[in-house]
Structure 1
């Protein structure tokens, strides 16, 4: 009996400790990588490994050596056997080998076309890589800018709530009209709506980035989103910087910081701005533009295909050698022959005309691409310079001045030296300056991404 009770006690202890053991046991499988990735280079590495279009382009390039090998092959010889007559005394048997000899440079034309097809596949792979690099750069910094916008919007919401609380205290003290309280609450509601819109923009930007990185946005860890408690502290704040659940102070800068990328956690003003490479490197990369390289490869491939069709106008020569045995004595006769088709009706003129037309089209498209790419290059380069300079000026000059003006007006309002209109105007100016900065930041990186799509890879840096 004592043994049975001891066994039951041990089992009960194990059952009681099972949940704790289960909680302490690490989850199976490797931990999910952070989202968004800490750097653009890490995001590019993920996209390079996950993009199906890039994998398809790699497979196409890997298949081209087979095309080149087949193009270099010569025609197979033909073996024929012929028996004439059924009587052993009169029948004859002929064995013959026929070999086609290609004339007109057909084999060399095929080899050249296969080589140009390989070059075209390589150019398409490089272009796909450039497009992917541009897309990831755009999506990555769109997410960074959206995070900065959300952090700014939540900070503005906290400022509006603080101003509304100040007005409420002054109304309660009988120092200002209740109309000012309504105006302050209206401004707070507008700031809350702006924060909600910024959160939606951030979700959309992260969704786009997750798609490019081959991730399922629905499966991302909750650490990539703002926690419910922090959101509640920002949205439900009624005291000057207090959490409604605990009453502990919550800094205004904390709103929107949790779950953001490292760059945004350092502050929106700390996000790097794009910088153009030196002019010599810029010119060298433009000369290797994937867009121009693909157009050039298509033109060269079309010209090579036209060369193949032109070579087919020359008839091939067929050489024949064999032996013929006749009768019971099996008398042997050697056979040597030659045959050539007469190009009286079919001279491959139709296919040649089509190929030449396609070659002319590709050449015209190359000229058009050169003009278009040069225009896009100049426009993107100027936009990078202008938008980056705008973001820099707003960040270094306008935002600090607007912040100082708002702080001074808010402090002066508390002491009755300024009107509420002055505070709201200063707040709107600060919000407008921050919005202008995030927009300029986003547009600067978008222009830089368009420039990266035009330029060839930077050989001075390690590419994915």
Structure 2
């Protein structure tokens, strides 16, 4: 939301603090960022600048008032006084066209701002899922560390009894030390990820004490719409729409320049002069620029080059968007398949191995080390599942960005914040 005055900012800050008091979801974090990110608020002011340009384009140039006073060097002559007022005629002629071009620029600016909103939303979601995955991973690493600590205690007792050698004990101690190092590194990553999310949400001071769920959301039951993603992206991508608007503005500017290439500065006005004998002479004045040397050749050539440039840029963006959608879609499919494999195949298999190993251990058919190894393998599989699930949600956010909206059932919705921006 574009915050234009202090009263609106105060109300928004209250709403933000109400959100921060709850456990944040990814959507809530995005909402806070859209309300509180200072860089986005600075981007919103581009709309205000474009609106001011539109107002300026609709205003006519002020008339020019000129005056002369000539004083005689001897009597009996009087003072010669001349005054005139003139108005630029060409400015009157092109004012509606100039206003139309400015309105087009305003729409282009709104589209660019809308694209910035979607980009920020993707960045926030990515940072949120990375933090959530690190927190979930920390819980698993602590469980692994407890298992490794148990293994070290057992190894020390067996080493004292002479059942294992120094090398076996050193290996168990090294594994335990590595698990402690993994916990420390993950804790550091959590702190860094929180600061990244604070920066994106614009929170500082007491507002940084927010909490999020320690578990990533599970895979959604319904799949995303895989058909017509390209056409959706071409129709909905705001950066592409802004380039189309820019292209249309250049076409209009080129047409205006060609139409009025032979019309330069044209002024009409009234002049009045009081002669030294007291007689006053009044009449019309005009002034026009003769298109002898400069007939707008340079302006036309420049606009034609800019038009060709915009056409090539539009084609390049369209091709790039299609490739971006393909890449994001394929990555999301791959991450979903990988996460599903972890969830449905690898994790159940590791849990079954742990259960069977425990049964054999109780029957004195397996050693304690076999049981600990089975537990470590299960926790390692859970770690891989967390990484895969995190990558899935990040890939989903990337695909939403590539398409230009968020998935809702079989359709894609554009950001509500952008809809509000277009109406401002």
TM-score, with structure 2 as normaliser: 0.78
Aligned pair partner of 1:433 in 364, 381, 393: 381
Aligned pair partner of 1:321 in 242, 246, 270: 270
Aligned pair partner of 1:261 in 212, 234, 240: 212
Aligned pair partner of 1:41 in 13, 17, 27: 27
Match of 2:409 in 1: none
Match of 1:380 in 2: 328
Greater Cα shift, 69-78 or 410-419? 410-419
Aligned pair in 2 of structure 1 residues 198, 91: CA closer, same or farther (>3 Å)?
Answer: closer
| CA deviation after TM superposition for structure 1 residue 433, in Å | 1.8
CA contact (8 A) 1:402 1:433 kept: yes
TM-score, with structure 1 as normaliser: 0.72
Aligned pair partner of 2:100 in 96, 100, 112: 112
Aligned pair in 2 of structure 1 residues 219, 58: CA closer, same or farther (>3 Å)?
Answer: closer
| CA deviation after TM superposition for structure 1 residue 178, in Å | 4.8
SS class of match (1:96):
strand
| CA deviation after TM superposition for structure 1 residue 42, in Å | 1.6
Alignment of 1:283-298 (within 5 A): 284=232, 287-298=235-246
Is 1:63 matched up with 2:11? Answer: no
- Deviations 1:253-288 (CA, angstroms, capped at 9, x unpaired): xxxxxxx73252xxx6x5455965546896546511
Greater Cα shift, 57-66 or 128-137? 57-66
CA contact (8 A) 1:318 1:340 kept: yes
Distance in 2 separating the partners of 1:461 and 1:323 = 63
Alignment of 1:242-281 (within 5 A): 261-264=212-215, 271-272=218-219, 277-278=224-225
Q: Unaligned regions of 5+ residues in structure 2, if any?
A: 1-15, 407-411, 418-424
Aligned pair in 2 of structure 1 residues 316, 213: CA closer, same or farther (>3 Å)?
Answer: same
CA RMSD in angstroms comes to 3.6
**For this pair of structures, how many residues does the alignment match?**
392
Match of 1:53 in 2: 39
| CA deviation after TM superposition for structure 1 residue 303, in Å | 4.3
SS class of match (2:270):
strand
Match of 1:192 in 2: 180
Match of 2:128 in 1: 140
- Deviations 1:31-75 (CA, angstroms, capped at 9, x unpaired): 897599521122112212221221111111022222111112223
SS class of match (1:314):
coil
SS class of match (2:24):
coil
Match of 2:147 in 1: 159
SS class of match (1:146):
helix
Structure showing greater radius of gyration is 1
Distance in 2 separating the partners of 1:41 and 1:376 = 24
| CA deviation after TM superposition for structure 1 residue 110, in Å | 2.1
Aligned pair partner of 2:346 in 381, 398, 407: 398
Match of 2:112 in 1: 124
Greater Cα shift, 146-155 or 101-110? 101-110
Distance in 2 separating the partners of 1:38 and 1:403 = 32
CA contact (8 A) 2:147 2:372 kept: no
CA contact (8 A) 2:354 2:378 kept: yes
SS class of match (1:215):
coil
Greater Cα shift, 50-59 or 395-404? 395-404
Aligned pair in 2 of structure 1 residues 413, 36: CA closer, same or farther (>3 Å)?
Answer: farther
| CA deviation after TM superposition for structure 1 residue 420, in Å | 6.2
Distance in 1 separating the partners of 2:111 and 2:19 = 32
Aligned pair partner of 2:90 in 77, 97, 102: 102
Distance in 2 separating the partners of 1:167 and 1:219 = 47
Aligned pair in 2 of structure 1 residues 169, 132: CA closer, same or farther (>3 Å)?
Answer: same
Match of 2:420 in 1: none
| CA deviation after TM superposition for structure 1 residue 394, in Å | 0.8
Aligned pair in 2 of structure 1 residues 332, 280: CA closer, same or farther (>3 Å)?
Answer: farther
